């Protein structure tokens, strides 16, 4: 009888078809067998009695700022944070490093650093910015997961927002390359004009910030992107959508047969504008946290499966850029630090609203894998798939503290939040990375994961 590397026994295993009590046997980084009472010998046996075994999360939207701004968040701390949250594959966005990932040389350098420092697997986005249309084909040929562009002002001179002509030309090329374009969809014209109006009046508080980025700015950008995608045939992925009206436009386009997916983030589901009023800069993000009534609409849309997937949009920065003493919210960095808590957040919502755990597994693992060409080996618990697993207990809560948050910077909207569940272990391709609140891997073992057509490329 073949000796296995790992056996996870007695777990409540979350499959795409439902939850079953069974064992999982792992060999050479793959799930070798799923059945009750595996009797093989193994190097490691984990008793998961009364615990749930989820597929490791695939977070398609994080901002690790290496190279150039690794003091914001780099692959080392960032990947430990993801492992502590049950995430086994993350997609790093192209914009906050120096240089940004807008050409092949920058991509190669980012991949080198990730392969050297990441504790779990990762994929890399390429960027679409004014002037780099000629770089899209080499980036696609090197295995980027897709491309990212901004329709609102970025505040980052290394990664500028696209104008309409760049967007159309880029969409045409990305469609030809068979890739997906991810869009931050807020109207630059509307948000910049409203911000200037507020600043002229000396208004810079929480309500002013929310009013400067209204739902109509998101809806206008979403509609425009859909029109351009119809012209060019470009597949779209809308990131961090924060309003029901935007989902209505996306749903209409899907019903017409357009190739579109959409994500939202846990902070739009667990928090609302009252938290910005109360906490200030730590709760600032773009799009902003919405009013409580809008938050409830988003939860209802989630329950109705109008969101394809969930991502963290982990967007950290040094303390001075989020200084709570800054009274002008327009001057503070706009991003939520919280990549460790996406799977926990979705389980919290599932428990509260009686959502099946297989839906959580779909939003956090299967749908991302299928959308971005990783489903041959990622996103599900199945024989032959990578042994990427998150083990979760509902018998112990998890209170977020600075001590158990693995991010480089500890200021987070989630500090002090109590989840009704806890990650007890994370396996990345069969290797135990995280156990009992600690990173237990001796060294980084993650690697750059490319879409299916590039799987053989090293």
Q: What is the pLDDT of residues 22-44, one digit of tens each?
A: 999 999 999 999 999 998 988 99
Q: What angle do CA 434, 357, 56 make, to 5 degrees?
A: 30
Q: What angle do CA 184, 216, 342 make, to 5 degrees?
A: 45
Residue 72 CB neighbour total at 10 angstroms = 25
Instruction: Give residue-wise pLDDT tens across range 74-133.
Output: 999 999 999 999 999 999 999 988 999 999 999 999 999 999 999 999 999 999 999 999
Task: Average the pLDDT over 250-278 and give the result.
Answer: 97
Taking the C-alpha atoms of residue 117 and residue 432, their distance in angstroms, rounded to an integer, is 16
Is the CB of residue 77 less than 8 Å from the CB of residue 335?
A: no
Residue 457 has pLDDT above 70, yes or no: no
Q: Helices 215-232 and 188-200 meet at what angle, rounded to 10?
A: 160
Residue whose structure tokens are 């667990």: 270
Task: Average the pLDDT over 334-338 and give the result.
Answer: 94
Task: Average the pLDDT over 403-422 and give the result.
Answer: 95
Instruction: Give residue-wise pLDDT tens across range 190-216.
Output: 999 999 999 999 999 999 999 999 999
Quote the pLDDT of residue 323: 78
* CB contact burial 158-182 (16+ within 10 A = b; e otherwise): bbbbbeeebbbbbbbbbbebebbbb
Quote the pLDDT of residue 276: 95
Q: Is 357 helix (H, G, I), strand (E, B) or coil?
A: helix
Q: Compute the CA torsion angle 320, 324, 327, 332 (nearest 10 deg).
A: 50
Quote the pLDDT of residue 328: 84
**Range with the lowest mean pLDDT among 32-41, 285-294, 303-312?**
32-41
Residue 97 CB neighbour total at 10 angstroms = 25
3-state helix, strand, coil in the chain (%, to 5): 35, 20, 40
Residue 324 has pLDDT above 80, yes or no: no
Quote the pLDDT of residue 456: 36
Residue 327 has pLDDT above 80, yes or no: no
Instruction: Give residue-wise pLDDT tens across range 391-400.
Output: 999 999 999 9
Residue whose structure tokens are 């991003």: 335
Q: Which two tokens stand for residue 70?
A: 């690794």
> How much of the chain, in percent, has pLDDT values that exceed 90?
90
Residue 455 has pLDDT above 70, yes or no: no
Residue whose structure tokens are 């489903």: 375
Quote the pLDDT of residue 453: 65
Quote the pLDDT of residue 454: 55
CA 385, distance to chain mean position in Å, is 21
Ordered by where they begin, the domains of the chain are 4-53+382-454 (2.30.40.10), 56-371 (3.20.20.140)
Mean pLDDT of the chain: 95
Residue 458 has pLDDT above 60, yes or no: no
> How much of the chain, in percent, has pLDDT values that exceed 70?
98
């Amino acid at each position: 009888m073949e000796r296995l590397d790992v056996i996870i026994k007695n777990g409540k295993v979350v499959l795409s078809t439902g939850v079953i009590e069974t064992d999982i046997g792992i060999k050479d980084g793959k799930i070798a067998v799923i059945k009750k009472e595996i009797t093989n010998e193994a190097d490691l046996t984990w008793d998961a009695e009364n615990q749930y075994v989820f597929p490791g999360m695939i977070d398609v939207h994080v901002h690790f700022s290496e190279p150039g701004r690794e003091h914001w968040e780099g692959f080392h701390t960032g990947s430990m944070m993801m492992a502590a949250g049950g995430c086994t594959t993350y997609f790093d966005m192209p914009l906050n490093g120096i240089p940004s990932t807008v050409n092949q040389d920058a991509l190669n350098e980012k991949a080198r650093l990730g392969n050297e420092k990441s504790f779990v697997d990762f994929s890399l986005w390429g960027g679409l910015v004014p002037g780099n249309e000629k770089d899209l084909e080499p980036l696609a040929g090197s295995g980027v997961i897709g491309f990212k562009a901004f329709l609102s002002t970025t505040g980052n001179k290394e990664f500028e927002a696209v104008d309409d002509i760049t967007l159309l030309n880029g969409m045409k090329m990305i469609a030809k390359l068979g890739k997906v374009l991810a869009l931050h969809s807020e109207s630059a014209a509307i948000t910049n004009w409203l911000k200037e109006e507020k600043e002229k009046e000396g208004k810079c508080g929480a309500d002013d910030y929310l009013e400067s980025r209204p739902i109509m700015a998101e809806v206008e950008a979403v509609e425009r992107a859909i029109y351009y995608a119809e012209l060019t045939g470009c597949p779209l992925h809308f990131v961090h959508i924060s309003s029901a009206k935007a989902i209505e436009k996306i749903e209409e386009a899907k019903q017409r047969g357009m190739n579109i997916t959409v994500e939202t983030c846990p902070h739009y589901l667990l928090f609302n504008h009252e938290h910005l009023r109360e906490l200030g800069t730590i709760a600032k993000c773009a799009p902003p946290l919405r009013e409580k009534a809008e938050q409830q609409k988003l939860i209802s849309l989630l329950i109705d499966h109008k969101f394809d997937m969930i991502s963290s949009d982990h967007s950290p920065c040094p303390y001075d850029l989020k200084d709570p003493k800054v009274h002008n919210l327009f001057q503070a960095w706009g991003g939520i630090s919280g990549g460790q808590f996406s799977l926990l957040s979705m389980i919290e919502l599932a428990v509260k609203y009686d959502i099946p755990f297989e839906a959580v597994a779909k939003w956090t693992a299967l749908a991302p894998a299928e959308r971005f060409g990783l489903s041959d080996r990622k996103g599900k618990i199945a024989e032959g798939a990578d042994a990427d697993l998150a083990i979760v207990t509902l018998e112990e809560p998890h209170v977020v503290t600075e001590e158990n948050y693995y991010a480089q910077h500890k200021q987070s909207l989630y500090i002090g939040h109590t989840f009704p569940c806890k990650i007890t272990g994370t396996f990345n391709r069969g290797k135990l990375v995280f156990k009992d609140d600690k990173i237990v891997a001796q060294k980084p073992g993650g690697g750059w994961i490319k879409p299916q057509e590039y799987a053989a490329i090293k």
